[in-house]
A and B are shown apart, each in its own frame.
Chain A
Amino acid sequence: MMAGIFLLLFITVIVILMKKQFAAEVFLFISLIAASVLFLHHITSHLQIQL
């Protein structure tokens, strides 16, 4: 899971080097959403609650 987020970031840096600005922004935003989901999963599993 976490390695997948790093993979998304790696794809983003390649897209930046290819000078595709909008695609880079989209990939970066998707990475942020994925990381936030993992963070929420950590919080909910740690506190034994459900959001």
Chain B
Amino acid sequence: MANKQNNIILSELFGILEICGLLIVLSLALFFQFALKELPCPLCLLQRVGFLGVMLAMCMNLQFGYKNSHIGLSLLFALFTGFVSLRQVALHVIPGTGSYGYAFLGYHLYTWSFIATMAIIMYYAVILIFDFKPTHQNLLSSAWKTINKSVIFLVSAIILINMVATYMECGLGFCPENPTKYSKE
């Protein structure tokens, strides 16, 4: 019984830590947008959508327990984000074609995005190899359930901020290729 309880706590910790990792990534993107006044391009926004999709599938792991369908959705969103970031890397990879935005620790955000998605895919590969799906939601204590809900509320706040910021930048139409100011100012 104690072993089962340890397994549940371990899976909860894993679930919360993986979401917090992605929350840091998206918070960094918002910091670049609001503090450094770097408006996100359409591909940057699509990468945010991809990360949020991975995060929401992880939230479903927290709320309903680890299931193959959630892991599959996470992998699909991670692949999507990988494609988008690789496309953006390809746009700037030829010398003389410039870059978009500031660099962070030597790489631009789209390069970090590609690295992060590859890490997510490898992480899920390891989870599938070891068949790590031990959560039994009915056995969770109320404290863990409160922590889970708080994390999901944090995710919803990030989505809401992104939604409002994107509406301010692009309105209801397509986003400009090289945005220089908010369209709804």
A-side residues, CB < 8 A to B, are: 1-7, 9-10, 12-14, 16-17, 19, 21, 24-25, 28-29, 31-32, 35-36, 38-39, 41-43
Known A-B contacts A35-B49, A42-B42; the reply to A7 vs B64 at CB < 8 A is no
User: Measuring CB to CB, which residues of chain B are less than 8 angstroms from any residue of chain A?
Assistant: 42-43, 45-46, 49-50, 52-53, 56-57, 59-60, 63-64, 69-70, 73, 76-77, 80, 83-84, 87, 149, 152, 155-156, 159-160, 162-163, 166-167, 170-175
25 contacts between A and B (CB under 8 A): A1-B173, A2-B42, A3-B163, A3-B166, A3-B172, A4-B172, A5-B49, A7-B163, A9-B163, A10-B159, A10-B163, A13-B56, A16-B63, A17-B63, A19-B63, A25-B73, A28-B60, A29-B73, A32-B80, A35-B49, A35-B50, A36-B80, A39-B46, A39-B83, A42-B46
Q: B49, B156, B159 — which one has the most chain A CB atoms within 10 A of its CB?
A: B49
Q: Is the interface of A mostly helix, strand, loop or mixed?
A: helix
| In the complex, chain B residues whose CB is within 8 Å of the CB of A2 | 42, 45-46, 49, 166, 170, 174-175
Q: Known contacts A31-B49, A39-B83; decide if A14 and B163 are in contact (CB<8 Å).
A: no
CA distance A25 to B59 in the complex (A): 11
Whether the pair A10, B156 counts as a contact (CB closer than 8 A) is: yes
Question: Chain B interface mostly helix, strand, loop or mixed?
Answer: helix
- State whether A31 touches B166 (Cβ < 8 A): no
Residue pair B175, A24 in contact (C-beta under 8 Å): no
Which chain B positions have C-beta within 8 A of A5? 49
**Which A residues touch B57, using CB under 8 A?**
28
Distance in angstroms from B100 CB to nearest chain A CB is: 14
Q: How far is the CA of A29 from the CA of B87 in the complex (A)?
A: 22
* Neighbouring B residues of A43 by C-beta, 8 Å: 87
A6-B172 Cα distance, complex, nearest whole Å: 12
**Docked complex Cα distance between A9 and B153 (Å):** 13
Q: A6-B159, A12-B56, A16-B59 are in contact. Are A21 and B64 (CB under 8 A)?
A: yes
- Shortest CB-to-CB span from B169 to chain A, Å, is 8
Contacts of B83 in A (CB 8 A): 39
- State the CA gap A47–B64 with chains docked (Å): 42
